[in-house]
Amino acid sequence: MKTINLAQSLAIDSQLRLPGSAGRILKNIRDIEKIAPMFRDVGLVKPVPKLSIVDMNVAGISTRSCVTKALGGFIYVSAAVRIDLLIEQNKLSSGATDSISELDDIDFEAQAKRLELIQIRQTYSLLEKIFNSAHSYNLILIDTPFFLARDMAPLDRHKKHKQEYEKTKKVIESFWDRFRQSIFPWNPNGPVVASILAERFSAIVSIAKQDLRTAEGRSQILENDGFDALMIKQLDEIEEQLIGIGDLRFINGILGNFTRTIAFRSHQLENRIEPVKEVQQGLIGFHFRSSRQGQIKFVQLVGDEPAWTSESLDIVASRLMALDMQNKGKAMPLPQLLGYQQLNILPQFAEFYRKGLHNAVKQNEVELGWLESLEGEE
């Protein structure tokens, strides 16, 4: 039987599949060019006014955690950094900074989720310090979720994960009980607290597939955010085209310079978010893009219509775009970019802590034979 090496196999396969792949991509591009104007006409994609003069006081909270092996187990370092920036008449100046950190040993049980919960608690700790201070802000940015999604919930057998979950849930409940009335939109003069999260491109696609002619189909969107029910017939029979395009290529195609999607209710797109009492106050979000070459970001805000209006959402979007910075192919607001630069020290500090822990255990005269077997970690 004739054999073929891998290089030959890949070369033949690429030649066979190239025309088909190119044809499908070209069809997707044509479909996007046809659908994009419909989304703008209906109000599902909106232009955002570009700020010519920027005046704002903004705080950005950035978080990070890292894990390293130590003494047959793991240790972790988790930290949050707050960076304040003042922009007056387009002139930028730095303000106060704050931080909080935590480091300890940790086992393997639900490790990633437990660290995520720790980062959420650290974010809320810095938020609490902000609202206990006399300093005023227009915009406060965080990079963790406001609430706890279903995928963060612990399994019954994961006791330590459950403890972290319940502890974080209580921190969230306490913060919103104390400070909700100080935050926009409950306080019209209060700061906007915005969560900049990983892309959730499927959200706007899921909304587009709903029957927006019905009240149930429109329940996910904020109708006061520029939705035009009179133009809804344009979206009839586009579901098949959306399926063929794919979420990422679709949203990249419909969002251009200084544009955003219509705001939608995030808590209605997920089956379970806790704490329930706080989530019932509303959780909305939208995607935005500051430039065609820029990265698409997703922002979440607490509250609902009619408190949130199209005008107030445009103000938030325009401020986020004014702060948007490109860094190694990724976009992030400037205060958080500066915070992440400080957080780069965490892996080195984790290594320093590991060596210190190893020496401390040695000085405690624990059985030398057991320690010698772990010397390979140095």
- Asked if residue 333 is part of any domain, the answer here is yes
What six digits make up the tokens of 361? 């255990």
Total count of domains within the chain: 1
- Asked if residue 100 is part of any domain, the answer here is yes
Give the model's pLDDT for residue 160: 86
- Asked if residue 239 is part of any domain, the answer here is no
- Asked if residue 38 is part of any domain, the answer here is no
Greatest CA separation for the chain: 81
> Is 248 in contact with 201 (CB distance < 8 Å)?
yes
Give dist(CA 288, CA 328) in Å, integer: 19
Give the model's pLDDT for residue 130: 96
Domain of 144, in residue numbers: 46-199+258-378
What six digits make up the tokens of 318? 């325009």
| DSSP SS3 for 224 | coil
- Can you list the positions of beta strands (E) in the chain? 45-47, 56-70, 73-88, 91-106, 139-142, 148-149, 192-197, 259-261, 264-265, 273-274, 283-289, 297-302, 324-327, 330-333
- Asked if residue 265 is part of any domain, the answer here is yes
Per-residue pLDDT of the chain (378 residues; tens, 9 = 90+): 677 788 888 888 888 888 887 777 777 777 777 777 777 877 888 999 998 899 999 999 999 999 988 877 788 999 999 999 999 999 999 999 999 999 888 888 788 999 999 999 999 999 999 999 988 999 999 999 999 988 888 887 888 899 999 999 999 999 999 999 999 999 999 999 999 986 666 666 666 666 566 667 677 888 888 887 766 666 666 666 666 676 777 778 888 889 999 998 886 555 568 898 898 899 999 999 887 777 888 999 999 989 999 999 999 999 999 998 866 666 789 999 999 999 999 999 888 888 887 777 777 655 555 556 655 555
What six digits make up the tokens of 255? 């969002």
- Asked if residue 75 is part of any domain, the answer here is yes
Q: What is the pairing mode between strands 324-327 and 259-261?
A: unpaired
At 265, give phi and psi (nearest 5°): -85, 110
Give the model's pLDDT for residue 268: 58
> Is 60 in contact with 333 (CB distance < 8 Å)?
yes
- Asked if residue 168 is part of any domain, the answer here is yes
Amino acid at 84: D
Q: Nearest Cα to 111, choosing from 75, 58, 138, 147?
A: 75
Q: Residue 332 belongs to a domain with what CATH number?
A: 3.30.2170
For 311-336, what is the HEC assignment? HHHHHHHHHHHHHEEEECCEEEEHHH
Partners of residue 141 on adjacent β-strands: 60, 194
Give the model's pLDDT for residue 38: 75
- Asked if residue 36 is part of any domain, the answer here is no
Give dist(CA 119, CA 166) in Å, integer: 14
Give the model's pLDDT for residue 250: 76
Give dist(CA 88, CA 249) in Å, integer: 37
